[in-house]
Structure 1
Amino acid sequence: MPHALWPVDPSVVLPFLVGVALVELTPGPNMGWLALVSMGQGRLAGFAAVAGVTLGLTVWMVLAAVGLTSVLLAFPALYQAVRWAGVLFLLWLAWEAWAGAGKVAEDVGRDPEKLRGLFLRGLMGNLLNPKAAVFYVALLPTFIRPDHASPMAQALTLGSLHLIVSVVIHGAIVLGAAAAGAVVMRRLRGLWAGRAMAAGIAAVAVWMAWATRG
């Protein structure tokens, strides 16, 4: 079958899917934050956050395809600025959760404005996560072959497959965490529920600072 019919080498698809699935299943800022949101505010809130995270990944994927993420990695000061902005953003979310402890309504997931806020938080949190840029710059080139479509077309195709995998895994996290949260948050009501979420988000911020160092 002519290569022109395949934008990417079919033999790399399965290894790529396995690789990105393992990456997505590795505990990280996205997984931790999505689980906390879903536990505390339910499935709709979790899916709103997933939509924001996915759009953020899409932006990084497109930037990688056109070669702009290499600029971030070429300038350590720029990388560190994005990195610390992401850490501070998560710490701000933790403070917001702490300050609002005991005031969170039980039907947060039904409030369109709050859903929009979670979407934007997911988007900003991922745009300020330099690990996404490192992922695309380090992983995508190893699966691109010269005898198929252009490097950009291959990067966009493989990146789209990664987005599908991330949505499936993040969706499963939301469903699982929301189910667990329905039990846990009934026991940790009001003040303690909010403070537990704040502590969890702060822990995610610390993890991100450690994982993205250097």
Structure 2
Amino acid sequence: MPLLVPSAPAPALRSVLAALGSPTAVREARPAALRTAQGPLSPEFPLPVHVLDGIIPSGRPPRARLTGWRFLIRSGDRTVAAADSMLTPDGWAFSHFCEGPYITSSERALRQAEAMSTRYQPRLLSVPELYMLTLWLHDGPEAHTDAADTMPLPTDLLVPLAPAPPGIASHRPHRVADLLPLLTHRLAPPAAAPLLSQSA
């Protein structure tokens, strides 16, 4: 079933187009895949990027905050890289280009999602403490991707991208209600061993 692909903010898209159109506008060197690509490059399939904060038990509920938008960069019929824009105090600005396994894994996860019977809205959800990136499939067309803070619904799906943390299978969809407790357990500090009483 086709995904409900969200529309990126126009300034975020413009920042990526400017970076693609003018190599001198970007401080860092372009990835090799962009330097060797033949033909025009186009940013497609925008995905809002959220970072999950507060999943370590602290008495406060976790939250997912919007930090940027990622565009898959196509050259002909191939995805060769991705470009990220970030939210700054002055609005949306280009952040960086990226390549590597997450790009291929993102495409694979999106194809998985399109084959599902439910129509989802795709997002990316990052868990920095675990060096983990997931495709977040929101169950519902009513979502507002421009909201600064939001949380996955218990019925939403998270698809860990490869490479996933040890013990978590990549490309296996998990309900949020099932995966979040596992991540919380992973990040919980180990319980302190009880002190043995010493006899006088």
Q: TM-score range by the shorter chain?
A: under 0.3
- Give the TM-score taking structure 1 as reference length: 0.24
Higher relative contact order (CA 8 A, sep 6+): 1
Structure with the largest fraction of helix: 1
